[in-house]
Amino acid sequence: AETTNVGEAVDYAITGIEPGAGITEKTDLALEEYENLSGWEQETSSTAAMLTALGDAIENEEPIVVTGWSPHFMFAQYDLKYLEDPKGVYGETEYIGTIARQGLEEDMPEAYTILDNFHWDPADMEKVMLDAQESDLETAAQDWVDNNGDVVSEWTDGVDSVDGDSIELVLTPWDTERASANVAKVVLEQQGYDVTLTPVDPSVMFEAIATGDGDASLAPWLPVTHSSFYEKYEGQFVDLGENLSGAKIGLVVPTYMDVDSIEDLEA
Ligand code: PBE
């Protein structure tokens, strides 16, 4: 069979995103763990720059290897595949979790209960992200809450209203987490809270909840993506479990590329 040297074609570079992302850290680990990737590097920049590079490559049917994740629109927009990861650096299926500062349950039991109950499906999150492209996240989140009263009432059932108590949700700066945080904001505001959203890097997000600077976060990707931050602050925050199951991270390529596994990437 005809083989092309993918490494040479992409200049031995993985097109990455923001330096502080969990997926960036795991990709550095992949570069260490896979011998065939010695001599490769990860070029970090921003999610927007990665998506532009991906779109340009696909337009020209050129090879490209990016750090990718789902839920994300890149999979609806383009024909893409995850490369198999036999060493399990990126995990199998991820979930998005909820964490709270210690004492939140005692201080704000109503908010704690709602955040603990908050659970939705990838299709819900994708709906908010898609609608936000036509309007903005605040509007899309409000619309989702208005149209999903049955789901929201499962989160708020039996929870008392409050009178303008302030709560700060900490999030990370990607669309997935902006979607969940804005939906939580609408629901908590309906309950009477005054909600602040603070976007930060994943490491700062865990630190803020561990120190009590922030009240809660719906942004951790687990068990693998943010494992190092989770372990660093373990015991200093309360783990409320999953808010969305069926997420994934990994190395992603266009389906026209003749590689299926990270181990197929040539040294
Ligand atoms: N990401 C993908 C986050 C979580 C998974 C870019 C949205 C990150 O890598 O930290």
Token pair for residue 193? 């809270």
Q: Where are the domains of the chain?
A: 6-92+249-264, 95-246
Q: Any bridge partners for residue 68, and if so which?
A: 250
pLDDT along the chain (267 residues), means of 10: 76 97 98 96 98 98 97 94 98 98 98 98 96 96 98 98 98 98 98 98 98 98 98 98 98 96 89
| Cα atoms in the 13 Å half-sphere on the side-chain side of 11 | 6
Architecture of domain 95-246: Roll (3.10)
Q: How far is the CA of 97 from the centre of ligand 1 (A)?
A: 13
Q: Does ipTM top 0.95?
A: yes
Question: Residue 158 CB: number of other CB atoms within 10 A?
Answer: 7
In whole angstroms, give the CA distance from residue 73 to residue 95: 18
The whole-number pLDDT of residue 3 equals 56
In whole angstroms, give the CA distance from residue 100 to residue 236: 10
The whole-number pLDDT of residue 5 equals 84
Ligand 1 pocket mutation pick from 176, 180, 200, 244 by most atoms within 8 angstroms of CB:
176
Phi, psi of 84 (to 5 degrees): -60, 150
The whole-number pLDDT of residue 266 equals 83
In whole angstroms, give the CA distance from residue 23 to residue 101: 24
> Residue 162: which of 193, 116, 117, 196 has the closest Cα?
193
Question: Which fold, 6-92+249-264?
Answer: D-Maltodextrin-Binding Protein; domain 2 (3.40.190)
> Residue 128: which of 197, 177, 187 has the closest Cα?
177
Burial of 192 (0-12, 13-18, 19+ CB in 10 A): middle
- Residues touching ligand 1 (Cβ under 6 Å) are 17, 21-23, 69, 172, 174, 176, 202, 221, 225, 249
Question: Residue 61 CB: number of other CB atoms within 10 A?
Answer: 9
For 177, residues 6+ apart whose C-beta sits below 8 A from its C-beta are 96, 171, 199, 218, 219
The whole-number pLDDT of residue 1 equals 42
